[in-house]
C-alpha cells in the first residue's frame, strides 16, 4: 500500500516523487484496455499539496480529467500547474468547508465527464495535526471525505483505484490511523456492495 507520487513530471522527479505512478497506471489502462473502455479517466487528487506532476502530464490529454483541491499556501509554489480543475483552499479550512466543496464538485464531475475509471489520491495531510498541511480537518472529516468518493463511484458504477499520499503528523500515529481509515472504509463500503450483489443474484 503506497503510491500517489503526484509531484513527478514526465521528465523529472520532484517533491519526494521519483516517478508518477498514477500517471503511469492511467496511461497503461488507456493502452491496454483502450479509450472506449476506460476514457475519460478522472483523477481525484485530495492530497493537501497540488499534484503538479499529474496535472502537467495530462494537461493536453482530453482523455484524462484532473481534479485537485489543495492548500493554497502549500508546496509546490514555483511549479504549480493547471489541472483541469484546481480548487485551492485557504489555511485553516476545516471539515465543514472541505466536505461542502466535495458535495458541490463530485456530482458535477460525474455528471459532466461521466468517467469510466477513477483514481483517488488519498493523502491525509489535510489533518489539523499534520506538520505541513495547514488545514484543520479531523480524522472523522477525512473519513467522510473518503466515503464521499467511494459512494460516488459506487453510485455511478465506476471502478476505483486508491493510492496513498502525504501524511506528516508527529508522532506519526495520526497519519497512520488516517491512512488505515482510507483502506478500511473502502473495504467496508465495497463489501456491502458485494453483499447486495450476492443477495440479488440468489433471488
Q: Answer for the pair 163, 21: CB distance below 8 angstroms, yes or no.
A: yes
Indicate the DSSP class of residue 94. B
Count of all residues that appear for the chain in the document: 203
Residue owning grid cell 483541491: 69
Q: Of 7, 49, 113, 179, which residue is the catalytic one?
A: 7
- Measure the CA–CA gap between 142 and 104, rounded to whole angstroms: 17
Q: Is 7 a catalytic residue?
A: yes
- Measure the CA–CA gap between 57 and 41, rounded to whole angstroms: 13
Indicate the DSSP class of residue 83. -
69: which residues sit within 8 A by CB, 6+ positions away? 45, 46, 87, 88, 89, 98, 101, 102, 105
- Measure the CA–CA gap between 139 and 175, rounded to whole angstroms: 9
Q: How many CB atoms lie within 10 A of CB 131?
A: 12
Residues serving a catalytic function are 7
Amino acid at each position: 500500500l503506497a503510491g500517489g507520487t503526484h509531484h513527478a513530471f514526465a521528465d523529472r522527479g520532484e517533491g519526494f516523487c521519483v516517478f508518477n505512478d498514477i500517471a503511469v497506471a492511467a496511461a497503461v489502462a488507456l493502452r491496454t484496455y483502450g479509450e472506449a473502455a476506460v476514457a475519460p479517466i478522472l483523477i481525484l487528487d485530495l492530497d493537501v499539496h497540488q499534484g503538479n506532476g499529474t496535472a502537467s502530464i495530462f494537461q493536453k490529454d482530453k482523455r484524462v480529467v484532473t481534479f485537485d483541491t489543495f492548500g493554497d499556501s502549500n508546496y509546490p509554489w514555483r511549479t504549480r500547474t493547471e489541472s483541469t480543475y484546481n480548487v485551492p483552499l485557504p489555511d485553516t479550512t476545516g471539515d465543514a468547508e472541505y466536505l461542502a466543496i466535495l458535495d458541490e464538485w463530485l456530482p458535477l464531475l460525474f455528471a459532466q465527464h461521466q468517467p469510466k475509471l477513477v483514481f483517488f489520491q488519498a493523502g491525509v495531510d489535510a489533518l489539523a495535526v499534520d506538520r505541513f498541511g495547514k488545514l484543520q480537518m479531523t480524522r472523522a472529516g477525512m473519513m467522510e471525505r473518503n466515503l464521499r468518493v467511494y459512494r460516488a463511484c459506487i453510485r455511478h458504477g465506476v471502478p476505483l483505484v486508491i493510492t496513498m499520499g502525504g501524511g506528516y503528523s508527529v508522532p506519526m500515529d495520526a497519519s497512520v490511523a488516517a491512512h488505515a481509515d482510507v483502506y478500511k472504509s473502502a473495504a467496508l463500503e465495497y463489501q456491502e456492495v458485494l453483499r447486495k450483489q450476492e443477495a440479488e443474484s440468489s433471488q
